[in-house]
Amino acid sequence: MPLVAYGNRLYPRNSILIPQSFVDTGATKCVVPRTFNKRTLRLPVVGRDKDVGTAKGKREFDYVVVPLMVIANISLQDGALVVRETRLRVRNVPTWLGADDEDFIVGMSFLRHFDVTMRRSGHIIIRK
């Protein structure tokens, strides 16, 4: 299996490491920009969801299945990318391909595997 380096760790080539801050419990599936899939993941489109309700109205999304999705703490320390893995990892995550100007979103296709608590302080707690 081909591996790719993120900071100081190796992951399978089609895996995604997502910063913890992009969480949307109202999103049915996760979202990655279409060009990110084309350039990096290179996953085939396996289906299309129609009439998906979003903040921008009804839309259609092609989707892929990401073999491994991991939420990680990613930071820069002394100019080096440091990746600290969490135990928040899911295999075979259905993921919509969004527009190129859309953010990465961790939706319920990932979050349904965990207990998710939202605090008044704005913090989101995700635990197994």
pLDDT, position 116: 84
pLDDT digits (tens, 9 = 90+) for 63-98: 999 988 887 666 667 776 666 666 778 899 999 999
C-alpha torsion sign, points 32, 34, 35, 40: positive
Cβ 65 vs Cβ 30: under 8 Å:
no
Amino acid type, 12: P
pLDDT at position 92: 93
Q: Rounded to an integer, what distance in angstroms lies between the CA atom of residue 123 and that of residue 21?
A: 9
Domain 3-127, CATH 3.40.50 — does that match?
no
In order along its 128 residues, the chain shows pLDDT tens digits of: 454 555 555 555 555 555 444 788 889 999 988 998 898 888 999 999 999 988 888 999 999 999 888 876 666 677 766 666 667 788 999 999 998 887 788 899 999 998 888 788 777 777 77
Domain boundary assignment for the chain: 3-127
Identify the sign of the CA torsion 21, 52, 108, 119.
positive
Taking the model in full, what pTM does it have?
Answer: 0.76
pLDDT recorded at residue 20: 44
Answer whether 69's CB lies under 8 Å from 16's CB: yes
